[in-house]
């Protein structure tokens, strides 16, 4: 393969350029994530057997590339590859504190909180959150949420019932578009009625920002935010940008609205809501 003749740094730069291009050309989010992972697999095919023979530069570039892919994929397969490269770097004594932070953040994004806390405990001076304990988590994959409790060190696992009509909102308190949305919803009765009983979810990411989530819930008790457990539990969703509004009927997407103000305008939002309410 032609790429095998290129230096690791060149291949890493090619992956970073590919990622940037997929963002600039506004490739749909789910498709973009799959394309970036596929390009990573092409440029940096993983094999545990080759790790000992890789040069330091190869290991460093492969670690950075696997982190980039895992950031978009947020799945266990890529997470295990990031971890394997990290261990190889550590064995050679060429690992940095930033590398451990990246590993910690990927563990948080994939909800592997125990593993994240192992790193936090081992390196307490690094800038890493302490991840909470998940109470009552089911081994069966299904749409679910992790609900903050009165104590900051735990989240309660709850399946989400998608029977009938359900409005799911992907939002985050550090997203000003999400903040603008909840402000408008709170002030406009027509919107408030649509959002009554909606499920509000913060998408998986490298940081939990639990204090900000708790503050949101104090300020907006009618729209409490919980954490999405894992993206793979919501296969009907194809976008995770905040805010995104999914109008579901028995677990199937009837309509999707992105952004606030909605990308296609308020008329489209109300039309989407009307289609949802008419769904049988």
Q: Does residue 33 lie in a domain region?
A: yes
Confidence of residue 97 (pLDDT cuts 50, 70, 90): very high
Q: What's the CA gap between 3 and 26, in Å, rounded?
A: 26
Q: Are 247 and 253 in contact (CB under 8 A)?
A: yes
Q: Where is the domain boundary, 32, 61, 95?
A: 95
Q: Which residue spans within the chain are E strands per DSSP?
A: 133-135, 144-148, 154-159, 165-170, 199-202, 225-228, 244-249, 252-258
Please give the pLDDT value at position 153: 85
Q: What is the pLDDT of residue 279?
A: 86
Q: Is residue 170 part of a domain?
A: yes
Domain of 164, CATH number, reads 3.40.30.10
Q: How would residue 4 be classed by pLDDT, with cut points 50, 70 and 90?
A: low
Residue 84 sits in which domain range? Answer: 2-95
Answer yes or no: do 182 and 270 share one domain. Answer: yes
Span 185-203, mean pLDDT?
96
pLDDT-based confidence at residue 151 (cuts at 50, 70, 90): confident
The answer on 186 and 63 residing in a single domain is: no
Same domain, 91 and 152: no
Is residue 208 in some structural domain? yes
Total number of domains constituting the chain? 2
**Percent of the chain residues topping a pLDDT of 70:** 98
The pTM of this model reads 0.91
The answer to whether residue 218 sits within a structural domain is yes
Helix axes 76-91, 97-109, angle to 10 degrees: 160
pLDDT tens-digit readout, 59-68: 999 999 999 9
18-33 residue pLDDT tens: 999 998 888 888 999 9
Residue 167 within a domain? yes
Q: Is residue 138 part of a domain?
A: no
The mean predicted confidence, pLDDT, of the chain is 94
Q: Is residue 131 part of a domain?
A: no
Residue at 101 is within a domain = no
pLDDT at 1 exceeding the cut of 80? no
Position 48 confidence tier, pLDDT thresholds 50, 70, 90:
very high
Same domain, 71 and 160: no
Per residue in 153-169, pLDDT tens? 899 999 999 999 999 99
């Amino acid at each position: 393969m032609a790429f095998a003749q290129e230096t690791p740094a060149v291949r890493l730069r090619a992956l970073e350029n590919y990622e940037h291009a997929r963002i600039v050309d506004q490739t749909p989010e789910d498709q973009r994530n799959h394309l970036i992972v596929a390009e990573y697999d092409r440029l940096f095919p993983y094999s545990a057997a080759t790790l000992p023979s890789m040069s330091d530069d190869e290991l460093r570039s492969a670690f950075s590339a696997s982190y980039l892919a895992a950031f978009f994929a947020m799945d266990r397969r890529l997470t295990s590859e990031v971890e394997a490269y990290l261990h190889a770097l550590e064995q050679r004594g060429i690992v940095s504190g930033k590398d451990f932070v990246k590993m910690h953040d990927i563990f948080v994004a994939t909800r592997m909180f125990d593993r994240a806390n192992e790193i936090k405990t081992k390196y307490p001076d690094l800038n890493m959150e302490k991840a909470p304990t998940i109470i009552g988590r089911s081994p069966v994959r299904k749409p679910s949420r992790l609900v903050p409790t009165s104590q900051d060190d735990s989240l309660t696992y709850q399946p989400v019932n998608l029977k009938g009509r359900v409005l799911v909102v992907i939002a985050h308190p550090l997203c000003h578009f999400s903040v603008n949305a909840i402000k408008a919803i709170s002030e406009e009765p027509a919107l408030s009625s649509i959002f009554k009983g909606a499920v509000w979810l913060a998408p998986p990411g490298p940081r939990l920002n639990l204090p900000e989530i708790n503050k949101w819930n104090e300020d907006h008790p009618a729209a409490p935010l919980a954490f999405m457990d894992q993206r793979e539990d919501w296969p009907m969703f194809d976008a995770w940008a905040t805010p995104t509004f999914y109008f579901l009927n028995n677990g199937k997407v009837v309509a999707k609205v992105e952004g606030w103000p909605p990308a296609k305008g308020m008329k489209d939002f109300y039309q989407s809501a009307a289609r949802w309410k008419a769904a049988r």
